[in-house]
Structure 1
Amino acid sequence: MDTKIIVNHALRALLYEVTVNPKPGLVDPLSAGPHPDMNAFMFIDSALSLAPYFNACAAAGVAYTAVDLTGLFKQIRGSGVQAEQTMFAATKGVNTHKGAVFSLGVLVTAAAYQLQHPDVDLATIVRTMLAGLTANDFNDLNTKDPTTLTAGERQYLTYGIKGIRGEAEAGYPTVMQVALPALRRSRGTINQRLLDTLMAIVQATVDTNLVKRAHDPHVIDWVHDQAHRYFDLGGSRSEAGMAFLRELNQIFVDHNYSLGGSADLLILTIFIGLQTDILA
């Protein structure tokens, strides 16, 4: 494997995710969900605009020789800010992949670094790269102007939810311990397998995008129940399970709910699945 293959897998992960359908509360080829300003074509444009960024991440990872891997993260973080601007230019200001710019950029960098250090597992590389991330990013939030806080910062102050920063700093345990095993167990078409993997993620995670839109962390208990119900109905390989997803999407549209955080974790899962031939 080389860096070109890693970048190819990153782009495929973005494109696979938007193609999977029907996804409740998310954009797919059949529905924009609660995102009237988005469509699948926009996600394709957004994904392809990020190719230079992923190339830069891979190049940084494979060339990095210092012992302190937090320096590698600092190196790509600036590139991530530039990539967000490239994304916004491609989508005319719509946030399609901001979460993926961060998380997938980290994984691409770590995977490229692993090419030179095959004895170190991916999660360990990520944890070492991101050591101290939440402490650094959430330090002194109480002294900041509340109007300048991001959604993630507000949720940390209000509910103590660390969100994607906490997930990343821990080496993406939801991906490694929940989503990848679910993908490995899954059966059927790629679409069926990825739907079941998405709902396994939904069942196990605190989706900060959903909390933001609902303005209530208790919505997480509700969505966990919905994911359990989906699997009780037979999941993607049953008509009842598929009908339930379509009904659930309408509920998400009616309440303006989104599962953007879960979608980002699905992207990471697809990427690793392609890297490891779980998705062959």
Structure 2
Amino acid sequence: MDTKIIVNHALRALLYEVTVNPKPGLVDPLSVGPHPDMNAFMFIDSALSLAPYFNACAAAGVAYTAVDLTGLFKQIRGIGVQAEQTMFAATKGVNTHKGAVFSLGVLVTAAAYQLQHPDVDLATIVRTMLAGLTANDFNDLNTKEPTTLTAGERQYLTYGIKGIRGEAEAGYPTVMQVALPALRRSRGTINQRLLDTLMAIVQATVDTNLVKRAHDPHVIDWVHDQAHRYFDLGGSRSEAGMAFLRELNQIFVDHNYSLGGSADLLILTIFIGLQTDILA
């Protein structure tokens, strides 16, 4: 494998995710869910605009020789800020893939670094790259002007939720321990397999995007129950399971709920699934 294949897998992961349907609370070819400012074509444009960014991440990862991997993360973080602006230019200011710019950029970089260090597993590389991330990013939040806080910073102060930073710093345990095993177990078409994997993620995680939309962390208990119900009905390979997803999407639309955090974790799962031939 070379860096071109890694970048190809990253772009495919973004495109696969938006194609999967019907996804409750998310954009797909059949519904924009609670996102009237978005559509599937915008996500395609956004994904393709990030190709130079992923190439830069892969190049940084494969060329890095220092012992301290936190320096590698610092190197790509600046590139990521520029990539966000590229994404916003492609979408005319709409945030389609900001979470993926961060997380998928980290995984692409780690996968490229792994080419030169095949004896080190991906999660270990990520944990080493991001050591101290949460402490550094959330340092002195109490001294910041409340109106300048990001949604993630507010959730950390209010509920103690570390969000994607905590997930990333831990080496993406939801992806490694929940989503990838779910993808391995899954059967059916690619769409069916990825729907079941998405709902396994929803069932196991605290989606900070959902908490933000609901203004209430207790919504997580509710959505976990919905994911359990989906699997009880037979999941993607049953008519009842698919009908339930369509009904659930309408509830998300009515309440302006989104599962953007779960979608980002699905993207990462697809990427690793392609890398490891789980998704072939």
Q: Deviations over 1:22-60 (max 9, x none)?
A: 000000000000000000000000000000000000000
Q: Deviations over 1:97-140 (max 9, x none)?
A: 00000000000000000000000000000000000000000000
Q: Deviations over 1:146-171 (max 9, x none)?
A: 11111000000000000000000000
Q: Give the paired residue count.
A: 280
Deviation, 1:85, is 0.2
Give the equivalent residue in structure 2 for 1:268: 268
- Residue 142, structure 1, aligned to residue 136, structure 2: no
Deviation, 1:92, is 0.1
Give the equivalent residue in structure 2 for 1:48: 48
Q: Deviations over 1:163-206 (max 9, x none)?
A: 00000000000000000000000000000000000000000000
| Cα distance in structure 1, aligned partners of 2:149 and 2:69 | 28
How high is the TM-score relative to the length of structure 2? Answer: 1.00
SS class of match (1:270): helix
| Cα distance in structure 2, aligned partners of 1:97 and 1:116 | 28
SS class of match (1:94): coil
| Cα distance in structure 2, aligned partners of 1:210 and 1:218 | 10
| Cα distance in structure 2, aligned partners of 1:237 and 1:35 | 27
| Cα distance in structure 2, aligned partners of 1:210 and 1:100 | 17
| Cα distance in structure 2, aligned partners of 1:87 and 1:7 | 16
SS class of match (2:21): coil
Give the equivalent residue in structure 2 for 1:116: 116
| Cα distance in structure 2, aligned partners of 1:109 and 1:167 | 17
Q: Runs in 1 of length 4+ with deviation above 4 angstroms?
A: none
| Cα distance in structure 2, aligned partners of 1:146 and 1:271 | 36
- Give unpaired runs (5+ residues) of structure 2: none
Deviation, 1:96, is 0.1
| Cα distance in structure 2, aligned partners of 1:220 and 1:15 | 27
- Residue 28, structure 1, aligned to residue 23, structure 2: no
Report the RMSD for the aligned CA atoms in angstroms.
0.2
Deviation, 1:76, is 0.1
Deviation, 1:67, is 0.1
| Cα distance in structure 2, aligned partners of 1:22 and 1:125 | 34
| Cα distance in structure 1, aligned partners of 2:221 and 2:164 | 19
Deviation, 1:73, is 0.1
Give the equivalent residue in structure 2 for 1:173: 173
Deviation, 1:10, is 0.1
Moved more, 162-171 or 142-151: 142-151
Give the equivalent residue in structure 2 for 1:82: 82
Q: Deviations over 1:229-275 (max 9, x none)?
A: 00000000000000000000000000000000000000000000000
- Give unpaired runs (5+ residues) of structure 1: none
State the identity as a percent: 99
How high is the TM-score relative to the length of structure 1? Answer: 1.00
- Residue 96, structure 1, aligned to residue 96, structure 2: yes
